[in-house]
Amino acid sequence: MSVETRHRLSGKRIILGITGGIAAYKASELIRLYKKAGADVQVVMTPTAEKFVTPLTLGTLSERPVHAEIFPENELGSWTKHIEFGLWGDVYVIAPATAQTMAKLASGMCDSMLTAVALAARCPILVCPSMDHDMWEHPATQESVQTLEGFGYQIMEPEEGELASGLIGKGRLPEPQNIFERTEKILADAANKKKGRLAGTKVLVTAGPTREAIDPVRFISNYSTGTMGYEIAAAAERRGADVILVSGPTSLDTPDGVHRVDVTTAAEMYDAVHKETNAEIIIMVAAVADYAPANPATSKIKKDGKEPDLNLKPTQDILASLGAEKKDGQMLVGFALETDNAEENARIKLEKKNLDWIILNNLNEQGAGFGTETNRVTMIGRDGTEEQLPLMEKREVAEYILDRVLGDAS
């Protein structure tokens, strides 16, 4: 496998749907190919598919729980799991797809996790049919194919060869390597084809912490990992935006298609942001230090038995400066992390800094704040709107924030 191939799929999120056909055994090899390329794979299946390949096998290979029922038992947020997966995936591959499942997809039926995710998915969907030759040629099946293509689904036609019935004809599931290569092409095309609600719109996002030097080896910072900001940048790019991501120090990879500008200090972030103030939408997620050492030492401070004297000075308020200079039609969104009087302090910040929206994180909320894969936020709008979101993955939170911001901007 080439370096280019590994790079294309590395970090991609692939939903793999498996239906109840004999070719379901090939899904194990397909998962192996995706995982070897660095992709994250979430398996969903129909209950009938479990007769051909076990969830234990697929879960072990994918390293994620496998779901068949729409409402998984004993799981937080189970009633919206299909929505979560629909937002999570970069591509949804259904292989094998039986005639039964294709008919359900074509009619919009929603009786399994697999069909529910298809209705909720925002990503490209690849359907790989597998069935006996006469079933494939039947007018009802061909009508399902035409309907799905009309929905925008991509159909990877079955291959010819010996079938499970012993007949020879068209109906074999394409080999896993061929499905893998088609998946790669779909993701490459998606990356190269800039379209969506934000096509032609410049979006500026800040993320991560800043570091303010005490001496050459020590600094003041915070616990921000940058995850929330990176998810918002990636979500905006998926909607066609030209995204500038001004990032403090973080270990995260740059989202595909996003232009990243690395900074370290609050002053550097201030300068970088003010070079991009022509952006139509600005979303300030970064946890910028409020104070910095007034006189950082030029050499390492030695421990000499004396108490250190650390004088601090305020950093430039980037968000307030953007609010003061906000242009007509520009959307300015800020984040607030609070521990006390959270909503009151967030509303003060909203008004004082001339924001259109403020996204409130309460550090006392379980699953929210720094260093988590989830977040629980409250969105407060300048018009008095207030909406408390449930605990969700940060990727899902990012999509919801953009939905609301765009709805208000339209």
Query: How far is residue 237's CA from residue 171's CA, in Å, rounded to a whole number?
Result: 38
Q: Which helix (H) or strand (E) holds 172?
A: strand 168-172
**Helix (H, G, I), strand (E, B), or coil: what is residue 232?**
helix
Band the pLDDT of 224: cuts 50, 70, 90: very high
Cβ 254 vs Cβ 233: under 8 Å: no
Dihedral over alpha carbons 203, 204, 206, 211 (to 10 degrees)? 160
- Residue 164 pLDDT > 50: yes
pLDDT band, residue 11 (cuts 50/70/90): confident
> Do residues 378 and 350 make contact, with C-beta atoms less than 8 angstroms apart?
no
Q: What is the average pLDDT value for the chain, to the nearest integer?
A: 88
pLDDT at 280 over 90: yes
Q: Tens of pLDDT along 250-279? A: 999 888 789 999 999 999 999 999 999 999
Cβ(339)–Cβ(360) below 8 Å: no
- Determine which helix (DSSP H) or strand (DSSP E) holds 378, and give its type and residue range: strand 377-381
pLDDT digits (tens, 9 = 90+) for 335-377: 998 878 888 999 999 999 999 999 998 776 776 667 678 888 9
- In whole angstroms, what is the distance from residue 268 CA to residue 208 CA? 13
Percent of the chain with pLDDT over 90: 64
pLDDT of residue 194: 56
pLDDT above 80: residue 249 = yes
CATH number of this structure's domain 3-192: 3.40.50.1950
Q: Is the pLDDT of residue 300 over 70?
A: yes
The answer to whether domain 202-409 has CATH 3.40.50.10300 is yes
Position 200 scores a pLDDT of 81
Name the region of 38 (left: φ>0; alpha: ψ -120 to 50; beta: rest). Answer: left
Question: For this structure, is 341 an active site residue?
Answer: no
d(CA 325, CA 68): 52
Domains 3-192 and 202-409 belong to one CATH topology? yes
Residues 320 and 349: their CA atoms lie apart, in Å, by 9
Residue 71 is predicted with a pLDDT of: 74
Q: pTM higher than 0.75, yes or no? A: no
Which residue carries 């992709």 as its tokens? 39
Q: Which pLDDT does position 185 carry in this prediction?
A: 87
Q: What percent of the chain has pLDDT over 70?
A: 93
Confidence of residue 225 (pLDDT cuts 50, 70, 90): very high
Instruction: List pLDDT tens digits, range 41-90.
Output: 999 999 999 999 999 999 999 999 999 887 766 555 456 788 888 888 99
Residue 286 has pLDDT above 90, yes or no: yes
Query: How does residue 304 score in pLDDT terms, banded at 50, 70 and 90?
Result: confident
- Cross-strand partners of 44: 17, 67
Cα dihedral sign for 21, 22, 26, 31? positive
- The domain segmentation of the chain, as residue ranges, is 3-192, 202-409
pLDDT digits (tens, 9 = 90+) for 376-395: 899 999 988 899 898 888 98
Output the DSSP codes for 77-90. TGGGHHHHHHHH-S
Return all residues near 233 (Cβ < 8 A) that are at least 6 apart: 203, 205, 207, 243, 245, 255, 258
Catalytic residue, candidates 192, 222, 362, 364:
222
Give pLDDT, residue 5. 33
d(C-alpha 283, C-alpha 303), whole Å: 42
Residue 157 neighbours by CB under 8 Å, 6+ apart: 129, 170
Q: How many residues does the chain have?
A: 410
